[in-house]
Amino acid sequence: ALRIILHSLDQRAAVYQRYIQPLLSVSVDFYIRVFVRVKTGQAVVKNSAR
């Protein structure tokens, strides 16, 4: 589930020419919390789309 959420966040950020940097992901029972840093960089966005 964490990978699905991170992938979804990455795709949504790429729409706005931004990329995410995961800092911390926690999964306990049915609860998931993800901390990410959002940065701007067109070259990195292009590489993440590959």
pLDDT confidence tier of residue 47, bands split at 50, 70 and 90: confident
Calculate the CA 23 to chain-centre distance.
10
Domain extent for 13: 2-48
Cα(43)–Cα(45) distance, integer angstroms: 5
Report the domain count for the chain.
Answer: 1
Per-residue pLDDT, averaged over 2-13, amounts to 93
> Which residues, 6 or more positions from 4, have their beta carbon under 8 angstroms from its beta carbon?
none
Instruction: State what percent of residues in the chain have pLDDT above 90.
Output: 58
Per-residue pLDDT, averaged over 11-25, amounts to 92
Model-wide pTM > 0.85:
no
pLDDT confidence tier of residue 41, bands split at 50, 70 and 90: confident
